[in-house]
Chains A and B, each alone.
Chain A
Amino acid sequence: MNEYALAIDVGGTFTDIILLNMTTGDVHLLKTPSTPYDPSRGFVTGISRILEAHGVAFSQIRRIFHGTTIATNAILEGKGTPVGLLVSAGFKYVLEIGRHNMARMSNPHVWVKPERPVPPEHVLEVPERTAFDGAILEELDEDAVRSAAARFRDEGIESIAVSLTHSYANASHERRVRELVQEEFPAAHLSLSSEVLPVFREYERTITTVLNAYVMPRVSGYVENLDRELEDLGVEAPLLIMKSNGGVIGAETAIQQPVHTALSGPAAGVMAAIDVAANAGVEDCISFDMGGTSTDVSLVNRRTPNVTLNGQLGDWPVQLPMLDIATIGAGGGSIAWLTAAGNLNVGPRSAGGAPGPVCYGQGGTEPTVTDANLVLGRIDDDIAGGVLSLDVQAAKEAIQEKIAGPLGLDLHRAAHGILQIVNYNMMGAIRNVSVERGYDPREFALVAFGGAGPMHAISVARLLDMTTVIAPPNPGVASAYGLLVADFKNDYARTSLQKPPHYDLETMEKLYRELEREADHWFDAEAIPPGRRDVVRSADLRYIHQGAEVTVEWPGRMVNPTALETTLQQFHLEHSRTYGFSLDQPVEIVTLRVAARGRQDANMTMPLSRHSDSAPAQALVGQRPVYFDHMDHFVPSDIYDRARLTPGTVISGPAILENLDSTVVIDPGWSGRIDECGNCIMRPI
């Protein structure tokens, strides 16, 4: 009996499904419309369809991986559940005041403070006070907690966040609050800041805890429902959900920490890029996932994705470990427009799937990136294998009327300008994750996927002097691949300020052990056998008086003077690499961290590609003029059917490789080689 793995990546417009035969390595793909009103519908009908089409029984599924946007959408669209927040007396306005700033470079004449997910009247104070070292200065007023819980219950507020001052140093009051609330209001969903984000800075910890509470009922309802339906269908494999750190967690864990799934989809894309690059023999890469409305880029160093603790979801800071993904609001459907003073901008408004770009002929009137690509010959006027015929004339007229005319440019310069603006924005995003973190992008390969990624990749690479671009075989569904190759991952952290020269090594060791115990509980819950458990310690350090910390790995599993010395040395090096200088000044240890990873048991590496035998000549389907940005004119270019290209084939630009879900553009002066896995690896000649 063959065993199978399923990966289901639910995006805003499409749900991508991959069915992998773990015995033979055969792969089947399905792209089906998402069902935003009830995302589990699209999920269940999708997997039923693909299993049926290939004669696979539900009981043959050994692994089932899922990328979801439920949490992200609830946060970005402000459509979470009403939340009640309990804070220490004196801090009712912690959300309202925030860090009391307006966004950098915003205009004070027009800037409006974003509406908080919890209005002040739903923030209740409970008398208590804990000091930063964990000492209890004032006992918890239990009656106040009870009456607050009763009030939330009576007002029908079912999700409660608890964030008391300095609870990262001593969680006993928050835990007691949980007991009291459960007595008074057993049905309430609870999120404790000491569990969601036990680090200092009250606004950041509180907003993250609130967001967790805000999405908890919805995510848990969705996951429980899905779990039940899968069980009813006869799926025995546990449902695994991708989280923002690039690892997967079981359904039960996801229900407790739903805010960790906020970057579920984009994180899967990064994990895919790591695997794609590794198959091509590359360890350092930058993932470049360009879809219809946005583009995500992220840096991978020695097969390890960069992680940030300064993430942002919409207007809110979220200081959980997340893959360091820069997102810009520009994709194939992004609209080009002029400001009052006549400056060309592209995005963040998108024509989306409906009405879509002008050339789709479905009512779109504003020129998009796709329209510009079409006018320049970079995409064919018949796409998706002839299913969709594009209206070049309409695209030309829109660009002429809205952009070229008012700017006094000719049509092709204007269309090219739209692409240039987008490509420069992409360059900026790549610089955010590389140059600004002390990495030189020239030392990295660009892994391009998403529907529009491989079309823009060489232009973007050239702006950054990058010399390797990799397009995986099915760029449009690459993110779903990322789900298949992901390990289990969970992160644990605790702030414990250690000031030099009195580093309290004993306390640090005790805290690390506590964090590791928490990790072990989780490993047990996910049924990960001891042989596949990896635990890595790290610490956030800073020069005394600095405000931002640098995370460095703690060597081994012992806290002793030698390990401390090594860690301090590593900090100086890392500071110098990132910021260009280090100082001969004392270093503070601020937060201790433990990263727990459970390795997958099956080999989920993607199989070699299975191409029909055909000569490159058979893959050549035509020729058309294509506009390339550094040529400034149209060049006759060969057009290939990518599916017919066999491993080892080398194609010299100017050329276009077309397949069902994406187009690869190879510039003049570059060539692309098809490798054993079906990747197209492009380099300057």
Chain B
Amino acid sequence: MSATPSKNEGAFQNPSVDPITLQLIRGSLRSARLECELIIERTAMSAFIREKKDYTVSFLDQEGEEIYGETMGSDIMGCVWEHYPAETMHTGDVYWYNDPYISRGSITHTPDMVFITPVFFEEELVGYCHSFAHFWDLGGSRPGSIGPANTEIFHDGTLVPPIRIVDQGRLNDEAYRIILRNSRYPDLLEGDTRALMAAAQRAEERVLEIFRRFGKDTTLAALQQDQQETAEFIREKTLELIPPGTYSTRDYMDNDGVGDDWHSFHLELSRSGDKISLDATASDDQAPGSINFVASEGAVAAYFGQHFHQYDPSLTANQGLLASVDEVKLRSGSILLPRWPAALGCRAHTFTKLKNAVRAVVARANGGDTMAAMAVYVIAYWRMRDAETGEWLLCTDGIAVGHGARPLADGIDAVYSRHNENYPAEFMDMEYPLRMERYAINPDSGGPGKYRGGCGIIRDVRLLASEGTFGLRVENHRFPAWGVAGGKAGGTSRVVLNPGCDNERDIRPFSDDNHWQAGDLVRLYTAGGGGWGDPLERDIYLVEKDVLGGFVSLDAARTEYGVVIDPTSLKVDASGTEAFRKDLSQAREQPKLFHRFIYFDDDEEERLWIERNLPL
């Protein structure tokens, strides 16, 4: 953990590097990152990287601490140094791995791979660059490697421990061929790995330029100072916004893909004096299925620090984000720190809820001044046998959900995780024996609130090939995203095969090996985000607008928001609404801090309800 930074006297004065030079170096790193990410976007082959944009480029200092990037809190270099001590590295080397266990959670599931280049300036190792992306297929139990039915890490595809894939400019062809041979789609893997290596190498050049322009001492000092600046700000904000006390939350995953039981984790934030701790040891044991998340102390601290970064997003996202926490406690063997060889592929269910949990403990501490929970973003694995070649094709389809409402704005409708893009319908039609027939907003899926949770979507996909299977990584079927500050939970997800037909049936949302035949249609309804604030306080004209646009039904406008709207003109009845809201505010369940199934203030209160009503 980072040491608590020293306080600085004087407004913005910095002793070593002047603030303008610091800003210039920061700007140079930012444009270097954008340039290198563009290389990945333009040249990667698998659709998951190039259309869904699941990639990033980051920069590390000599100690392996992040100076700029998106993988905050991961100890990217630790496992590399164990095999290749820094003094054995050379210019022109590229290191590669994806092993979640060896890297102690720097990588959290096997499809994520990292390529690292050391940066030498005047023969001194001054830092590292790395490129990271989610790859298409590395072998494993089914096309796409990870999936709901996996129960061991070996089902999740080939493990690559830290290796030196390029040694002083020479590609290690033997190792490369072994890894490519283990993919069902070696051409894609080759194209993607080439793109990632090119990006990491370009990043190295760009960092060298910065050293050349500003000189070694100034650059190194500036990068340290930048980390310190972020750390100071984050620390100060944390202490300002979290009063002394203990604040806990528990969240629940629908099931683990192989069983029907729900699984939960527990997170407790405590402040005693100026000491801030996060404790997740009261979480459930690891699950038999693939929702286990190899959390690291750094990653949990970084999630927490990111919450405070919103108060000045102009600060560089770097190791300084970890400064908000002094201590993180995890329990080995729990769902947040599973033991080898648990499967990890669908850990997004758990870590998305863990990110929500950070907001929940902050909400407990400050009375609800946080974003509500977002739904877990969805992946469908459409697999179909090509009629001509007999080979299995795979379409890994990342699908949007609704995000949590915020204290000052509605939640974002129909977004995946963040900047990840969907596949255009016309792309899917052209590339696969599939036809996308509908792509719409899922009405009433956004949690009601003064600010509405974001809506999920409806997606209809028809199979044109003669046979196929599909896997679904859909959460929030039993446990929707919670609302906060009086806001209510978002809607749940659902998957239906052949809706409206004689052979219509519901499909388990988190499942694999579902068979379908030519002409079958799968409809996905994805979940929405939680609402923020009392729905009866929502601006009536925003409710009218939502009804007009199809985000909220007439019925929900009345029952949830207390807004009376004329069914033919779709105009709001302002005086009728006022009277109706008055009655409703008496008759309804009274708002509390959180809502999911019921309003509740405390996670134990919710747990009792769940154990009574949703027994294991």
Contacts and interface: CB of A to CB of B under 8 A. Distances in A.
A101 B24 contact: no
A27 B530 CA distance: 66
Interface size for chain A: under 10, 10 to 19, 20 to 34, or 35 or more residues?
35 or more
B424 A101 contact: no
A110 B406 CA distance: 8
A548 B41 contact: yes
Nearest to B188: A545
Looking at B13, B44, B201, B430, which has the most chain A CB atoms within 10 Å of its CB?
Answer: B430
Given A90-B439, A545-B46, A341 B312 contact: yes
A144 B424 CA distance: 25
Interface of B: 10-13, 18-20, 22-24, 26-28, 31, 35, 37-39, 41-47, 50-51, 53, 187-188, 190-191, 194-195, 198, 201-202, 229, 233, 309-315, 371, 400, 403, 406, 409, 412-416, 418-422, 424-427, 429-430, 435, 437-441, 457, 460, 545, 548-550
B542 to A, nearest CB: 13
Nearest to A583: B191
Contact of A408 (B13, B28, B426, B548): B13
A37 interface: no
A131 B53 CA distance: 27
B198 A108 contact: no
B409 A112 contact: yes
A407 B439 CA distance: 52
Given A93-B441, A165-B426, A543-B45, A425 B27 contact: yes
A547 interface: yes
B426 A202 contact: yes
A203 B439 CA distance: 12
Interface string A525-563: 000000000000000000111111000000000000000
A341 B229 contact: yes
Contact of B31 (A100, A203, A431): A431
A111 B412 contact: yes
Nearest to B314: A339
A345 interface: yes
Contact of B24 (A413, A424, A435, A436): A424
Shortest Cβ-Cβ A-B pairs, 9 listed: A342-B12, A417-B20, A90-B438, A547-B50, A109-B310, A120-B549, A100-B400, A99-B421, A408-B13
A406 B37 CA distance: 35
A585 B191 contact: yes
A426 to B, nearest CB: 11
Nearest to B359: A109
A340 B47 contact: no
Question: Chain A interface mostly helix, strand, loop or mixed?
Answer: loop
Interface of A: 89-94, 96-97, 99-113, 119-121, 129, 131-132, 165-166, 200-204, 338-345, 406-409, 413-414, 416-417, 420-421, 424-425, 428, 431, 435-436, 497, 543-548, 575, 578-581, 583, 585
A90 B548 contact: no
A97 B27 contact: no
A340 B312 contact: yes
A89 B440 CA distance: 10
Contacts of A339: 312, 314-315
Contacts of B18: 407, 409, 413, 417
Nearest to B437: A90
A407 B371 contact: no
Nearest to B312: A340
B20 A545 contact: no
Given A97-B439, A99-B421, A407-B12, A546 B426 contact: no
A94 B425 CA distance: 10
Contacts of B415: 100-102, 113
Contacts of B38: 436
B412 A102 contact: yes
B13 A343 contact: no
Contacts of B27: 421, 424-425, 428
A118 to B, nearest CB: 11
Contacts of B419: 101-106
A342 B226 CA distance: 12
A406 B12 contact: yes
A580 B202 contact: yes
B71 to A, nearest CB: 14
Given A341-B233, A546-B45, A585-B187, A202 B424 contact: yes
A200 B39 contact: no
Contacts of B550: 92-93, 120-121
A545 B187 contact: yes
11 contacts: A90-B439, A91-B439, A100-B415, A111-B412, A112-B412, A120-B548, A202-B425, A344-B23, A545-B191, A546-B50, A548-B50
Nearest to B307: A109
A12 to B, nearest CB: 27
Contacts of A89: 438
Contact of B421 (A100, A407, A413): A100
A310 to B, nearest CB: 10
A469 B441 CA distance: 53
Nearest to A548: B42
B418 to A, nearest CB: 6
B413 to A, nearest CB: 7
A545 B430 CA distance: 11
B197 to A, nearest CB: 9
Nearest to A119: B549
Contacts of A425: 27
A338 B315 CA distance: 12
Contact of B315 (A106, A121, A341, A543): A341
B413 A113 contact: yes
A131 B433 CA distance: 12
Contacts of A111: 412
B20 A546 contact: no
B196 to A, nearest CB: 12
Contacts of A413: 18, 20
B96 to A, nearest CB: 17
Given A104-B53, A579-B39, 7 more contacts: A90-B460, A91-B438, A102-B419, A108-B371, A121-B548, A580-B198, A581-B198
Contacts of A585: 187, 191
A339 B311 CA distance: 11
B395 to A, nearest CB: 12
